[in-house]
Amino acid sequence: MQGDVFTLNRGSSPLLLSQPHVGLEIPPSIERRLTEPAKVRPDTDWHIDRLYRDIAEELDATVVTAKYSRYVIDLNRDPDGASLYPGQSVTELCPTTLFDNSKLYLDGLEPDEEEIETRRGVFWQPYHDVLAEEIERIKALHGLERLSTGSVTWSAPDDVARMKQAYVFQSPVMLRRSVRANLGYPLAI
């Protein structure tokens, strides 16, 4: 499925991969206001889509991939612009600096609040809407219901559900395995 701001490849497993920083497109009305260093898009997550393509296909994962650059809007930021990493240096919802703190825009051509709000509606919201829809689809497909009071209820007997479901870890866990093995591990248990 192709959206205006994302590509969606639906899988049937309970794995969803979001690739918010791989996009390269920048509308001409924005690109002409960028500094020369910004035009080469140095803060892009280059080739993440290619890195995960074979694994995603093998594991039949759902993949949502951004088409637009994080310089248009950072899809991995709070929609109100609040820092998700308090105390750390982070870019805004609509970044105005590169990761090296150099200017993204030519002097005086940064987006104003009205433009940021427009970008939020045009680029950020559709991406997050499809993520929410796919999470609900995957939960419905695999029988997982919303968490309530710390328990999980399956639409099948526990022993059957355990044989068909993967675990979702709420804290990142670094396993001494390859990326392929880390993604495949919860699907195999």
Whether pTM exceeds 0.75:
no
Strand runs (DSSP E) across 21-103, as ranges?
62-66
Task: Give yes or no for a contact between 13 and 61, defined as CB atoms under 8 angstroms apart.
Answer: yes
CA–CA gap between residue 127 and residue 123 (Å, rounded): 7
The overall average pLDDT reported for the chain is: 82
Compute how many other C-beta atoms are within 10 angstroms of the C-beta atom of residue 156.
Answer: 13
Region of poorest pLDDT, from 65-69, 130-134, 157-161: 157-161
Give the closest residue to 16 by CA, choosing from 87, 51, 65: 65
Give me the phi and psi of 185, to 5 degrees please: -55, -55
**Sequence-separated (6 or more) residues with CB below 8 Å from residue 110:** 96, 104
Q: Element (H or E) spanning 19, and its range?
A: strand 16-19
pLDDT in tens, 100-128: 999 999 999 999 999 999 999 999 999 99
**pLDDT band (50, 70, 90) for residue 170:** very low
Q: Note the pLDDT of residue 80.
A: 81
